[in-house]
Structure 1
Amino acid sequence: MFNSKKGIDDKVSNKLTTLSSQSLIKGDCSIDGDMRIDGTIEGNIQCTGKVVIGPEGRINGNISCTHACLHGTIIGDAYVKEELTLKANCVMQGNIYTTKLEIESQAKFNGSCSTNDMNHEVKLLGTIAE
C-alpha cells in the first residue's frame, strides 16, 4: 500500500468502522478497531477498541468493548473493559459492567451497574479472532 522504504507501515494503525445515519444492521457485529454508530444495529456488538454511539445512534442488543461514549440509545447490557461515558440526553436501558463510569446530567440510565477496579478486569463477551 505505502512504500515501506520511507518507513511507512503498511498496516492501518487506527481502524475505524462507521455506520451512517439511516443505516440498519440486523445481526451481530464483530469489529477489530474503533466504531462509530449513527444508525441502528439490531444485534450484539463486539469491538476491540472504542465505540461511540452518536445522538441518532441506536443499539438493540448487548455491547462489549474497551471504551464507550454514548450519546444515543442502548437497549441491552454494556460490558466495557475500561471507561464508559453516558452523555447528556442519552438513553441506557440495561446493565453496565465496567471499570470506570461517568454519567452526565440529563443522561437516562435504567438498570444496574457493577464497577470494578483495574485489578478485577471486566470480562468481555467472547473474543474476536485476530
Structure 2
Amino acid sequence: MMKNTESKVIEEKDIDTILADDIDFSGTMKFNKSLMIKGKFDGKIDAEGHLILGPNSVVKAEIKAGVVTNYGKIVGNVEVIKKLELFKGAELNGDIKAPDLIIESGCIFNGNCSMGGQNLKQGHPAAREYAPDKAMKK
C-alpha cells in the first residue's frame, strides 16, 4: 500500500541566509551553505549549497547548485549536483540536469530533463529503442 506524500517542510531556523519576500534584486549569486529566496531574483546562481525558493518567489536565472528545493517559480535552466525537488505549487520553465529528481503532484514543469546514466550515451541500444520518434510509431 502506497502512502500519499506530503510536501517537505523546511524550517527557516535551519537556513543560513533568507532573502525576504520584499526583496527584488539581480546579479550573480554564489554561496556554499543554504539560501532561501522569498522574493524576486533575475540573473545567475552558481552555488555549491542548498537553494530554497519560497512559494511566492520568482527566479529568472540560470541555476547551478548542490540541491534546489522549489516551492515557487523558476524561469531558466537548472543544473544540480545532488537533487532537484519540485513541490506542490512549484513551476519550472526550463531544462533540468539532475542525478536525482522529485516532482510532486500539483507542479508545472515545461522543459527537458537529463538525469545522466548509461542510456544517454549516444548509440546505446535502449536510447535508440525508446527514442521519441520511434515511440510515436509504435
TM over 0.5, yes or no? yes
- Asked if 1 retains the 8 angstrom alpha-carbon contact of 2:15 and 2:36, the reply is no
Q: Select the structure with the greater relative contact order (CA < 8 A; seq sep ≥ 6).
A: 1
Structure 2 residue aligned with 1:77:
77
CA deviation after TM superposition for structure 1 residue 32, in Å: 2.5
Using the alignment, how far apart are the partners of 2:19 and 2:45 within structure 1? 12
TM-score (norm. length: structure 1): 0.75
CA distance in 2, matches of 1:78, 1:26: 17
* In 1, Cα distance between equivalents of 2:101 and 2:109: 12
Q: Which amino acid aligns with 1:77?
A: N
> Which structure has the greater CA radius of gyration?
2
Match of 1:37 in 2: 37
Aligned positions, number: 104
What residue is the counterpart of 1:124 in the other structure?
none
The structure in which a higher percent of residues are helix is 2
Give the CA deviation at 1:18: 1.5
Q: Kindly state the Cα deviation for residue 69 of structure 1 after the two structures are TM-superposed.
A: 0.7
CA shift for structure 1 position 31:
1.5
- Equivalent residue for 1:116? 116
Percent identical pairs in the alignment equals 27
Question: What CA distance in whole angstroms lies between the structure 2 residues aligned with 1:63 and 1:17?
Answer: 17
Moved over 4 A (4+): none
Report the alpha carbon displacement of residue 116 of structure 1 after superposing the two structures with TM.
Answer: 2.1
How does the TM-score come out when normalised to structure 2?
Answer: 0.71
Q: Distance in 2 between matches of 1:93 and 1:15?
A: 25
CA distance in 2, matches of 1:56, 1:81: 25
Deviation at 1:108, TM superposition (A): 0.2
> What 5-or-longer segments of structure 1 have no aligned partner?
1-13, 118-130
Q: Distance in 1 between matches of 2:66 and 2:34?
A: 9
Distance 1:32 1:100 in 2: 20
Code of the residue aligned with 1:79 in structure 2: it is: E
More strand by share: 1
RMSD between aligned alpha carbons? Answer: 1.4
